[in-house]
Chain A
Amino acid sequence: MVSQQQHRRYPIEWVLPVLFIVFLFTLFPVAHALWTSLHRVMVLLPGTPFVGLGNYRNVLASDYFLVALTNTVRFTLFSAPLTVLIGLGVAQVLLANFPGRMIVRSVVILPWALPGAITAFLWMWIFHPSWGILNLVLLKIGLIDSYIPWLTDPDLAKMIVIVAHTWTQYPFAAVLLMAALGGVDQQLYEAAKMDGASGWQRFRFITFPQIKAIIVILLVFNVLVGLTSYDVTYALTAGGPGDATILLSFNIWRESFSRLNFGNGSAVAFIVVLLSIGFLVAILRALPADIFGEK
């Protein structure tokens, strides 16, 4: 028997190495970013004087902020539910029994495994205004008379980046939802069928209650991914045309490395963090209390 005293031996010493790593790679960078956001840190200007909330004021008053905020919120509000919905549909299809389903399952995960820049390149081949395959197909079948400027028209570009981003994210949702759907007791469906329940009723009263927790988790996850998304949109439109697809996360980079103002860049980063927390709180508050099985 190991005594309770032996269990309590050296707890600090055991935890310290891990805490040190957490401090070094998480707390220190966050603290440093917070410090930077409260100081004027411009590479080309001497000194780093304390400016309080000055950087936050600069960012909030800037030309781009409102547009970037609106774009980011719109991007997130469309892409997160869309990702979960498509993931759910794909998961249902992949659970069906059909020849070659293992191969299809492997292929479906591919978009999630691809780096964002490659994904953007693939979508550029489809949507490019001059040589994209979509324009060619639409023209050949007579649906359009002239090429559509998918990526250079502000409204269309906003839609395209959501499509491309969702395509990269839905496989992860599909995999998790497949696992959740696989856990639903099949006998319940059989009983419901015998009772004459329609497909929608079976989904609503059997499937959904049993996978709602994972749906919420995926929703929260995709909201966070949406709020901090950068790679696909940057590689596809670089925020353009103009600022039509500019996102807040872009401006962390742009303020820091294009405009060499690390104070403003860090302030944007903390605004994104606050926004993420706001979204999380709103989602969790909107949920029923028993969502995770608690009474």
Chain B
Amino acid sequence: MKRLSNLWFVSIALVIATSTLGLSALAQEDITLNFTVWNYSLETIQDNIRIFEEQNPGIKVNLIDYAWPDYHDTIVLRFRSGTQTDIIYSGEDWLPEWASAGWLAPLEEIVPEVAQYKDKTASYAVNDMTFNGTLYGLSYYADLISFQFNANLLEENGIPVPQSWEDVRQAAESLQAAGIEKPFVYEYDQELPNFYSAFVAQVYGRGGQMFDGELNPVFNDPQSEAFKHLQWLQDMYADGLMALETHETKVVPAMNTGRHAFTVLFNYNLAALNNAATSALAGDFAMTPMPGDSHSTYGFAKFYAMTAEAAADPARREAAWKFIEFMGGGDYQVAKRWAIEKGLGFAQDPLFDDPDVQVAWSNWIDPADFKEQAQIAQNGTNTAFTGIWSAYFRPLLAKAIVGDASVQEVMDSGAEEWLSLRSQFLGY
């Protein structure tokens, strides 16, 4: 009986020891990071994750994707509900909001070596990833919003490349007279964050600004370039010169029908427009500096950011940093892949001179044109409340464009809301 008891004791001890060892091995074995993205080119992201996991045994990355128009709101929902989120795609316009709320980790403070990448990154992109003087991430891509056109269509009709918005209007009228029903096609969806950014890009092109140095709105002044430009858009629509499409993925095929000559989009769409494998009119499209007096445009960076939740756990923090560095730093293989395969812009200086990138880009864009536009691009006005205000202002913009409200009404309402938010957030 005693032998039996001893046997039981030894068996139980063995079971406990094995389980404990097993649990501890399990604990050391795998960390699963939740990585949330908007759903652009998921197969490329999955493949990058596969390569990372092969190089970093013990770290698994769980990819979670959302549609671009819903991305901001869904991320807020994840943060608010405490859903485990470790690394996210962030954007220049959301950084102040999410960092102020304490949802993002100040990467430079917790991983000081990230600062080494600042010198190798274009300054406008560094600005977009910085909040209160601290770098919050590494660049996924950095791009421009550019003016794109069907060069062949213009040439056939003897129309020069437009330099101003008045030129665009005249060219559109000429093309319409020649049978192109709606020469200008505009990406139009009030839920898209870039619906506002694209408007800002056009205002920058005219040499205008949305706000002055003290964050006072200037766009509601009828003499401002923003005011004039919204009026321009409203007139173009009212006069039947402009078609509306809800997303870039619909603008690209629409341009490929040959029924439109001009558009304003994220620059990487030019790669899709000139992709012979998917575009009927590949090779016909080009970009030119944004029309207007200054030809400036909106430049931005989207980046990988670590959440405060991940940073609070040393093991997750280390794993998350490894992943961020793999995706946005190191020898820039991932950024290079995006640039070559998808035409995504970049902010990493070494890539500008990379022969592989230059060869790939020369298939769809004149790199000199891109560089010229990038050099005069400007950041947006990003405050903790810009995202909130943009969500308010975008439907107003949409309303004005289709003539459902006057430009004055819309601009006044936008300015009033901006001032109200500024007062709540900044106290003046």
Contact = CB atoms under 8 A, between A and B. Distances in A.
A239 B80 CA distance: 25
Contacts of A149: 243-244
Contacts of A246: 395
Interface in A166-215: none
A216 B397 CA distance: 42
Nearest to B80: A43
9 contacts: A45-B424, A146-B181, A152-B188, A240-B190, A241-B244, A241-B404, A242-B396, A242-B402, A260-B76
Interface in B398-412: 398-402, 404-405
Interface in B317-332: none
Contacts of A42: 424
Contacts of A63: 396, 413
Interface stretch (B49-57, B349-357, B385-393): B385-393
B190 A260 contact: no
A245 to B, nearest CB: 11
Interface pairs A-B: 10 shortest CB-CB: A242-B399, A258-B391, A257-B73, A238-B191, A242-B404, A152-B244, A242-B398, A241-B402, A259-B388, A240-B190
Given A129-B244, A241-B398, A253-B73, A259 B101 contact: no
A105 interface: no
B73 A240 contact: no
Interface string A144-159: 0010010111100000
Interface residues of A, number: 31
B97 A260 contact: yes
**Interface majority SS (helix, strand, loop, mixed), chain B:** helix
A239 B190 CA distance: 8
A241 B391 contact: no
A129 B425 contact: no
Give the one of B189, B190, B246 with max A CB within 10 A: B246
Nearest to A253: B73
A243 B396 CA distance: 8
A242 B190 contact: yes
A4 B145 CA distance: 79
A242 to B, nearest CB: 3
A74 interface: no
Contacts of A45: 424-425
B65 to A, nearest CB: 15
A227 interface: no
B77 interface: yes
A244 B395 CA distance: 10
Contacts of B396: 63, 242
B235 interface: no
A92 interface: no
B100 A44 contact: yes
B181 A238 contact: no
Interface in A225-239: 238-239
A154 B424 CA distance: 34
A254 B257 CA distance: 35
Give the one of A44, A128, A238, A259 with max B CB within 10 A: A44
Contact of A238 (B190, B401, B402): B190
B391 A259 contact: yes
Nearest to A255: B391
A147 to B, nearest CB: 8
A131 interface: yes
A130 interface: yes
Contact of A242 (B243, B405, B425): B405
A44 B385 CA distance: 9
Nearest to B395: A243
Contact of B101 (A43, A244, A257): A43
A239 B77 CA distance: 20
Interface of A: 42-45, 63-64, 128-131, 146, 149, 151-154, 238-244, 246, 253-254, 257-261
Nearest to B74: A257
Interface in B240-270: 243-246, 250, 253-254, 257
A244 B188 contact: no
B207 interface: no
B425 A258 contact: no
A238 B244 contact: no
B342 interface: no
B395 A258 contact: no
B142 interface: no
B101 A44 contact: yes
A45 B384 CA distance: 10
A225 to B, nearest CB: 22
Given A154-B402, A239-B190, A244-B399, 16 more contacts: A43-B80, A44-B101, A63-B396, A152-B244, A152-B402, A240-B188, A241-B190, A241-B244, A242-B395, A242-B402, A243-B404, A257-B72, A257-B76, A259-B388, A259-B391, A260-B76
A43 B94 CA distance: 14
B181 A153 contact: no
Contacts of B400: 242
B283 interface: no
Given A44-B101, A45-B424, A240 B189 contact: yes
Interface in B346-396: 384-385, 388, 391-392, 395-396
A116 to B, nearest CB: 14
Nearest to A128: B250
Interface in B182-208: 188-191
B69 interface: yes
A241 B253 contact: no
B43 to A, nearest CB: 21
